[in-house]
Structure 1
Amino acid sequence: MDVKQAFRDMKQGKVSPVYVCYGTESYLMNEFTERLIEKLVEAEHREMALIRFDTGESTIDSIIEEAETLPFLVPSKIVLVRDSVLFASGKESNKVEHRTERLLTYLAQPSETTVLVFLVPHEKLDERKKLVKSAKAGEIVIAFTPLSAEELTQWIHKRATSRGRTLDRNAGEELLRRVGTDMHALAAEMDKLILHAGTEGTITVDAVNELVMVATEQNVFRLTEELAALRTGPAIALYYDLLKQREEPIKLMALMVRQFRNMLHVKELGSQGYSPQQMAGQLGLHPYAVKITAEQARKFSTERLATLLSELAELDYAMKTGRVDKTLGLELFLLKTGSAGAG
């Protein structure tokens, strides 16, 4: 089932007795769960109508027994189950033995007074399992995958509009550039900007620059961008700013290694005809991160990226063995790299 369709169905009062929610976008999964609770359970009844389990600690028998038990003093209840072993390929606990056939039987005839929700924080379900096949056949599976860059942009604009504010297009782009793709962080920064804008106000680029701090990982994106453009001065200034924020040079170097490695992978996959979406799946990156990485990768040759990774490996060893002062060592690397260019 599509995420948008699941939200639409819920809004229209169409609620399934069982859901299997999986994926890495925890913000959307949490939002779906919260809306489901708001839809079915009054705030004062949550203590009686909301039950939580974890398949790493509780057997499926005890979970089904709870699901089949009539709710007490409330018309219906929600059973939330965090799972990494029944529907995904996680390791089962030696302490907990699950009789999956019990759940298969329940899926065929679920309780009318319980909504059973499995929350599976994994990128994929284990397609080999009967449970997964049965859940998919029943159309109760919802995939919570990362939003694309366009979807993220639409989402933050919709968040502003729903609160009676207007978000400038450039402000939205700058917010994504500063915060990245973490929806929890984006939501928190948007709420701050919405409050600052005031009723029927407009969120501007100036407001974003003034109120939103650039995340460390996004600063590393900017560092590599400055190096590719031969802007050594801005790169060094950005490095000094990160040091003032008490960022560790070794941590910054590790992030740079990851970014240069991703750039190399993106170039290689691009040459093999992979689409950005396919690259995201292969590399475990958000589609927006792939887009930015691909733009940067075009400014570097494959040979230059391989050389930079080799130089960073040598610098890492020198810094960790005390042969080179870590702060000075990374600064010298930036100066050398900026003057040499992308190759």
Structure 2
Amino acid sequence: MDARQAFKELRDGQVRPLYVCCGTETYRMNDFTERLVGRLTEPEHRDMAVVRFDTAEHPLDAILEEAQTLPFLVPNKLILVRDNVVFGSGRESAKVEHRTDKLLEYFRQPMESTVLVFLVASEKLDERKKLTKRAKEDGFVVTFAPLQPDELVQWVCGRASKQGRTLEPQAAEELLRRVGTEMGALAAETDKLCLHAGEKGTVTAAAVAELVTASTEQSVFKLTEEIASLRTDRAVALYYDLLKQREEPIKLASLLVRQFRNMLFVKELGKTGYSPQQMAGQLGLHPYAVKITADQARGFSTERLTALLDRLAELDYAMKSGRVDKTLGLELFLLRTGSEGGA
């Protein structure tokens, strides 16, 4: 089951006796566990009702013993288990033994008063394990995948709406461009913008531009966008802004290499019929990052991207060997790239 279905069941008051949560979107996974805590326990009883384990430190026997023990002075018990070994593909510690056959037995008859949750912060579970197959068959697995670009925009706008504010779609797009796709950072910046807008206020794109500082990675996105659009003056101005923030030219050059390389990969994968979602999985990028990268890649030919990567490799060597001043070297790269024109 996907995260959306799991959240819906929780809102409807349906709680399963066991969950195996996996995925790279840890913000949503943590949000789900917090909602479980809120659904099952009262704030004043949480010290007794919520028990935490880690399979890197605690054997399954101890976890299951706790799961099969009746709760004390509270109606329900919630057990949260951080895991990279039992359902994940991590290596077991020689000091901690996990007898998985007992967990398979627990699957058949879980305790009614206990909700057992395994939290696996990786893209996939280990499909070779009997436990994983059984958990999937029983409907216990919940996947927390990154949101698609339009879903992220809706989520940000919805967060503002819950606070009685209106966040314009253009403002949401600008927020994503400046902050990136990390949902924790997006939540914090959205809350800040809502506070600034005031009760029943509106968050505009101009407010986002004024109040939200772009991360280094997002500034490099913008830098490549300016290069692709032949706006050399803006690219150099943005570079100077990054220098004022004490960003290292060598670091910026490496981020440019990564972005140009991703653009090249996106172009090549697009030719072979890959969908944006497939590209995201192949490159280890968020779907929104693939969307922005694909948009930027249209301004470059494959030959030009290859030439730029070669030039950046030469610049990297020259900067690290002291043959060229780091600050001046990257600035000259930006000026030369812009003067050469498109494609």
1:205 aligns with 2:228: no
SS in 2 for 1:213: coil
State the Cα distance separating 1:2 from its structure 2 match. 2.0
Deviation track 1:61-91 (CA, whole Å, cap 9, x = no partner) reads 1111111111111111111100111111112
- The answer for the alignment partner of 1:222 in structure 2 is 222
- 1:26 and 1:144 in contact (8 A); partners too: yes
- The answer for the alignment partner of 2:242 in structure 1 is 242
- The answer for the alignment partner of 2:115 in structure 1 is 115
Deviation track 1:87-130 (CA, whole Å, cap 9, x = no partner) reads 11112222212111111111111111111000000011111110
Deviation track 1:126-168 (CA, whole Å, cap 9, x = no partner) reads 1111011000001011100000001001101111111111111
- The answer for the alignment partner of 1:308 in structure 2 is 308
Let me know the Cα RMSD of the aligned residues: 1.0
1:290 aligns with 2:290: yes
SS in 2 for 1:306: helix
State the Cα distance separating 1:341 from its structure 2 match. 3.1
Alignment: residue pair count: 343
State the Cα distance separating 1:271 from its structure 2 match. 0.4
TM-score normalised over the length of structure 2: 0.98
1:15 aligns with 2:12: no
SS in 2 for 1:274: coil
4+ aligned runs moved over 6 Å, structure 1: none
TM-score normalised over the length of structure 1: 0.98
- 1:80 and 1:119 in contact (8 A); partners too: yes
Distance, in Å, in 2 between the alignment partners of 1:278 and 1:206 is 34
Deviation track 1:26-49 (CA, whole Å, cap 9, x = no partner) reads 110010000000111111111111
SS in 1 for 2:9: helix
Structure 2 unpaired stretches of 5+: none
Distance, in Å, in 2 between the alignment partners of 1:255 and 1:342 is 21
- The answer for the alignment partner of 1:187 in structure 2 is 187
Distance, in Å, in 1 between the alignment partners of 2:339 and 2:66 is 66
Structure 1 unpaired stretches of 5+: none
Partner AA of 1:65 in structure 2 = E
1:61 aligns with 2:61: yes
Distance, in Å, in 2 between the alignment partners of 1:124 and 1:312 is 35
- 1:21 and 1:141 in contact (8 A); partners too: yes
- The answer for the alignment partner of 1:278 in structure 2 is 278
Q: Percent identity?
A: 69
Distance, in Å, in 2 between the alignment partners of 1:316 and 1:96 is 46
State the Cα distance separating 1:189 from its structure 2 match. 0.4
Within a 5 Å distance, the mapping from 1:244-259 to structure 2 comes to 244-259=244-259
- The answer for the alignment partner of 1:126 in structure 2 is 126
Distance, in Å, in 2 between the alignment partners of 1:323 and 1:97 is 56
- The answer for the alignment partner of 2:78 in structure 1 is 78
- The answer for the alignment partner of 1:141 in structure 2 is 141
Distance, in Å, in 2 between the alignment partners of 1:170 and 1:135 is 42
Deviation track 1:163-214 (CA, whole Å, cap 9, x = no partner) reads 1111112111111111111111110000001111111111112211111111
Distance, in Å, in 1 between the alignment partners of 2:294 and 2:139 is 36
- After the TM superposition, which of the residue ranges 285-294 and 89-98 deviates more from structure 2? 89-98
- 1:227 and 1:341 in contact (8 A); partners too: no
Distance, in Å, in 2 between the alignment partners of 1:342 and 1:143 is 42
Deviation track 1:206-225 (CA, whole Å, cap 9, x = no partner) reads 21111111111111011111
Distance, in Å, in 1 between the alignment partners of 2:104 and 2:244 is 57
State the Cα distance separating 1:21 from its structure 2 match. 0.4
- The answer for the alignment partner of 1:159 in structure 2 is 159
